Amino acid sequence: MLDRSESSLASLLARRIPGYTLEAPFYTSPEIFAADMEAIFEQHWIYVGVEPDVPEPGDVVTVDIGRNSILIVRDDDMGVRAYHNVCRHRGARLVLEEKTTVGNLVCRYHSWTYNLEGDLIHAEHMGENFDRSCHGLKSVHIRSLEGLLFICLAEEPPEDFDGMAAVMAPYIAPHNIRETKIAYQHDLIEPGNWKLTMENNRECYHCGANHPELTVPLFAYGFGFAPEELDDLEREQAERYACLVTAEHTDWERMGIPSRCQEHLDDMVTGYRAERLPLDGAGESHTLDTRAASKKRLGSLPSDKMGALHFWTQPNSWHHFMGDHVVTFSVIPLDANHSLLRTKWLVHKDAVEGVDYDLENLIGVWMATNQQDSDLVGYCQKGATSPAYQPGPYSPHTEMLVDKFCNWYIKRMLAWHGPTRVTAK
Ligand code: 3BY
Ligand code: FES
Ligand code: FE
């Protein structure tokens, strides 16, 4: 049994062993959950949605992150802004819907009215000394990375977002997210701590045994292996895959499509990784026939056979950009044992369902894969509550990026909570 001082967050952070899963309280403790929300989700750039969530002026989307509710609004000049979803009168929540369209933002309690720029433009019976200009909505930092929307709740957001954006913009821009529409969104509540959802995404060690649909378009050798464990035939296939990646990178980059790996998962405050990888079969998309699901090719891409650009950000997102569609995933923690996985499928804005794409075909692979991953996350959550649980080793060949996620998390927690003491029960 841990005594109270040994189970303090500070000692748990200090004694984390690199290369191993985290100790159980990181997955189960409500106190560490609260510490995560404060140190990670209220300090870092959090991926929340896409510009096509709010295509027209007056479009509003709300995102709840822990104790915060955030409004994302398209303004009259086509800018995207974010505000706290809290009325400046007596604090009522302004917008209750997840998505709506408004002329102005009107509080239903006493009708205080804010324009899309967040200014309070109407408040009756407040007397002549009342200064409306001191009661505008509180803004939240928001950035669009070629149409991917990130918010930051900190007063001073991490400055290295711009560095990531400069590297990543040329990778994402050819898919032109701003010219897409959301064909489908799916919210899945996973029965596990948010870090288990993220860890699960950062490896494909589990893919062969668990993802019969996803492993149709993915190459079996795409996510690492121990060379000494392969027989001659497997080694030859793995070498062929490595050559294919090199050849495709060269071809795509010659066509002006950045594809080579960029990795800063644990050496930046805003950690990220990106790489475009070939797909099996026809090589076009994450579908069961490996062909494009949508007939309208995205953006300025030169070919249908663009493989899939994988883009991952710390702490809460991953994305797959293909020639015909984009799938984006955001993870929002709900409590120590539950997380919201929000998935959006984007197709060209002119693609028509039933004509240019079949929805079942478009979403089939990831709908199945998400549910399989959610089950796996649930098994780990159950395991973490057992007295028999102890941190287990990551594979040095297939789980390096899981370790990098944990390294990043521990570093960021130490940076924020280092000097304080939170006791994990
Ligand atoms: O998100 C990725 O890039 C991959 C694909 C499947 C699981 N994950 C490691
Ligand atoms: Fe919003 Fe009163 S609380 S108008
Ligand atoms: Fe998976």
- Residue 86 CA, ligand 2 centroid: distance in Å: 9
What contacts 23, CB < 8 A, 6 or more positions away? 12, 16, 391
- Residue 115 CA, ligand 2 centroid: distance in Å: 15
- Nearest C-alpha to atom 3 of ligand 2 is from which residue? 90
Task: Quote the pLDDT of residue 4.
Answer: 52
Helix, strand, coil shares, percent, the chain, to 5: 30, 25, 45
Whether 203 lines ligand 1, by a CB cut-off of 6 Å, is yes
Mutation to probe ligand 2, out of 86, 87, 104 (largest number of atoms < 8 A from CB) = 87
Check whether 299 has a pLDDT greater than 50. Answer: yes
- Residue 312 CA, ligand 1 centroid: distance in Å: 9
Check whether 101 has a pLDDT greater than 50. Answer: yes
To which residue do tokens 């549910």 refer? 371
CA distance 151 to 35: 19
| CA-110 nearest atom, ligand 2 | 4
* Nearest bound ligand to the CA of residue 317: 1
Q: For residue 344, give both structure tokens.
A: 């959006």
- Nearest C-alpha to atom 2 of ligand 2 is from which residue? 110
Task: Quote the pLDDT of residue 93.
Answer: 98
To which residue do tokens 């927690």 refer? 413
Signed CA dihedral, 392, 397, 399, 403: sign only: positive
Whether 201 lines ligand 1, by a CB cut-off of 6 Å, is yes
Mutation to probe ligand 2, out of 84, 86, 105, 112 (largest number of atoms < 8 A from CB) = 112
Task: Quote the pLDDT of residue 141.
Answer: 98
Neighbours of 216 (CB within 10 A): 16
Whether 318 lines ligand 1, by a CB cut-off of 6 Å, is yes
52 DSSP 8-state letter: G
Residue 366 · residue 325 · CB < 8 Å: no
Ligand 2 — pocket residues by CB below 6 A? Answer: 87, 89-90, 92, 107, 109-110, 112
Residue 183 · residue 343 · CB < 8 Å: no
Task: In the chain, list all ranges with CATH 3.90.380.10.
Answer: 169-412
CA distance 72 to 65: 13
Nearest to 194 by CA among 1, 392, 14, 44: 44
- Residue 320 CA, ligand 1 centroid: distance in Å: 9
Q: For residue 346, give both structure tokens.
A: 């984007």
**Can you tell me the ipTM of this complex?**
0.89
- Nearest C-alpha to atom 4 of ligand 2 is from which residue? 110
Residue 411 · residue 266 · CB < 8 Å: yes
CA distance 222 to 235: 13
3-class SS at 60? strand
Q: Return the bridge partners of 106, or none.
A: 113
Task: Quote the pLDDT of residue 221.
Answer: 87
- Residue 397 CA, ligand 3 centroid: distance in Å: 17
Average pLDDT over residues 274-288: 98
- Global pTM value: 0.96
| CA-112 nearest atom, ligand 2 | 4
* 62 CA to centre of own chain: 16
CA distance 241 to 236: 9
Left (φ > 0), alpha (ψ -120 to 50) or beta: where does 125 sit? left
Query: For residue range 2-30, what is the model confidence (pLDDT) as tens digits?
Result: 445 677 999 999 999 999 999 999 999 99
CA distance 142 to 157: 10
Task: Supply the Cα-derived Rg of the chain in whole angstroms.
Answer: 23
pLDDT band at 1 (very low <50, low <70, confident <90, very high): very low
3-class SS at 128? coil
CA distance 165 to 328: 17
Check whether 408 has a pLDDT greater than 50. Answer: yes
Task: Quote the pLDDT of residue 3.
Answer: 46
pLDDT band at 363 (very low <50, low <70, confident <90, very high): very high
CA distance 27 to 309: 30
* Nearest bound ligand to the CA of residue 211: 3
Task: In the chain, list all ranges with CATH 2.102.10.10.
Answer: 46-143
Average pLDDT over residues 397-414: 97
Check whether 226 has a pLDDT greater than 80. Answer: yes
* Nearest bound ligand to the CA of residue 402: 1
Task: Quote the pLDDT of residue 419.
Answer: 60
Task: Quote the pLDDT of residue 169.
Answer: 98
* Nearest bound ligand to the CA of residue 275: 1
Average pLDDT over residues 394-418: 96
Task: Quote the pLDDT of residue 5.
Answer: 63
To which residue do tokens 């120590």 refer? 336
Class of domain 169-412: alpha beta
Whether 143 lines ligand 1, by a CB cut-off of 6 Å, is no
Whether 310 lines ligand 1, by a CB cut-off of 6 Å, is yes
Query: For residue range 170-204, what is the model confidence (pLDDT) as tens digits?
Result: 999 999 999 999 999 999 999 999 999 999 999 99
The CATH architecture annotation of domain 46-143 reads: 3-layer Sandwich (2.102)
How high is the mean pLDDT of the chain? 96
Query: For residue range 115-147, what is the model confidence (pLDDT) as tens digits?
Result: 999 999 999 999 999 999 999 999 999 999 999
Left (φ > 0), alpha (ψ -120 to 50) or beta: where does 290 sit? left
Check whether 317 has a pLDDT greater than 50. Answer: yes
* Nearest bound ligand to the CA of residue 223: 1
